[in-house]
Amino acid sequence: MIRFESDYSEGCIPEILEALNRTNNEQTPGYGMDKHCAKARKFIQKACKSDKVDVHFLVGGTQANATVIAAGLRPYQGVICADSGHINVHETGAVEATGHKCLPIPSKDGKISAKEVEEVIKAQKYDASKEHIVQPGMIYISFPTETGTLYSKKELKDLYQVAKRYQVPLFVDGARMGYGLMAKENDCTLNDFVKYSDVFYIGGTKVGALFGEAVVIVNPQLKKDFRYNIKQRGGMLAKGRLLGIQFETLFEQDRYFEISKKAMRQAERLTAAFKKKGYDFYYKPQSNQLFPILSNKKAEALRKNFTFLDFGVIDKNHKVARFVISFMTSDENVDALIKAL
């Protein structure tokens, strides 16, 4: 059985295990104040081409989302997101558990536009009874989105202009950031997220690490006392160096980008194969998650040798499948799937 069901099925790149072995007996201060975290911060600042940003390491994505959002909002504020946004559908109400409403915008492709966001902000701002309506206090997008699509640099800039105009910070969930950055169609860099967002995170869990997300805070107003928020939300690892060591390994050289690039070339090869065989895609295939439309018969046949997710139903005879490529996917496995198509 060959698995294409998620990008967190395996462990991590071997270099990380080597680093954990090498450093195991070192004695360091706890809670992210060690030299590995310090180095990893520097490397990430360099990758972001900015020494002004703050970098914090958190264990997982739901934790990172809830912590950043709760830290940035006043009690009566909510967070604008796509209705398919991870925070809105797959985090068991973690944002609401901190007291804040998700303000979902219906989305066909997992993205929301500057225009749509502005309309939501204005609708509340200029409503006669605005104090009865949750005030938009943050904008949440995912790059890539949960449905594998990408924002262009133009779209990102437009969103950020709205964010600045109304002083509603833009937060980018980058759980799969590496794949997005290395996608063929992408025109955004890490530095663009420094320029065009207020806070974002660079996902490790799904891109090379055992676990861990690096939160990068650009907007000075969001920097203050952020470590208190991490601790309060249960995200401050006692042996914080584990996160430092992992991101040090990923960013000291360009490992993060290399492994993402390799995965994206595989994903694009697979996309081309699907297209060649005449399959349509339910969402535009732009990153490491592909959503081809399969006949039920074909899906059944593939299931014998491959695992993938049933994502939705098109009609009596067709469904949407989800195939995920990761940094651990081997060329052989991609070849085998292409052959089976």
Instruction: Compute the distance between CA of residue 311 and CA of residue 292 in angstroms, rounded to an integer.
Output: 10
What are the structure tokens assigned to 1, written together?
């059985």
Amino acid at 165: R
- Least separation in angstroms between residue 167's CB and a copy of itself is 12
Distance CA 224, CA 54 (A): 10
The residue (of 15 and 335) whose beta carbon lies closer to a copy of itself is 15
Question: Which residues, in sequence order, are CB contacts of 192 under 8 Å at separation 6+?
Answer: 153, 156
Given a contact cutoff of 8 angstroms between Cβ atoms, the answer to whether 322 and 332 are in contact is no
Residues 233-262 contacting a copy of itself, CB under 8 A: 233-239, 242
| Residue 23 touches a copy of itself, criterion: CB under 8 A | yes
The only residue of 167, 232, 253, 295 in contact with a copy of itself, by rule CB under 8 A: 232
Q: Which residues contact 108 (CB under 8 A, 6 or more apart)?
A: none
Q: Which two tokens stand for residue 315?
A: 């009609």
Smallest distance, a copy of itself to C-beta of residue 234, A: 3
Q: Stretches 68-76, 144-152, 153-161, 287-295: which one binds a copy of itself (CB under 8 A)?
A: 68-76
Restricted to residues 69-108, the positions that interact with a copy of itself (CB under 8 A) are 70-71, 74-76, 78, 89-94, 96-102
The phi, psi pair for 54, rounded to 5°, reads -90, 140
Minimal CA–CA distance to 78: which of 105, 92, 99?
Answer: 99
* C-alpha count within 13 angstroms, C-beta hemisphere, residue 10: 16
| In the complex, least distance from residue 86 CB atom to a copy of itself, rounded to whole angstroms | 9
Interface pick for a copy of itself out of 52, 122, 184, 231 (rule CB under 8 A): 231
- Which CB, 88 or 186, lies closer to a copy of itself? 88
**Is residue 10 a contact point for a copy of itself (CB under 8 A)?**
yes
Region 126-145 residues binding a copy of itself, contact defined as CB under 8 A: 129, 131-135
Q: Which of residues 309-338 bind a copy of itself (CB under 8 A)?
A: 328
SS3 call for 169: coil
Count of residues interacting with a copy of itself (CB under 8 A): 72
Q: Which of residues 31-60 bind a copy of itself (CB under 8 A)?
A: 31, 59-60
Question: Which one, 31 or 166, has the nearer CB to a copy of itself?
Answer: 31
What is the spatial distance between Cα 15 and Cα 35, in angstroms, rounded to a whole number? 18
Q: Interface with a copy of itself includes 63 (CB under 8 A)?
A: yes
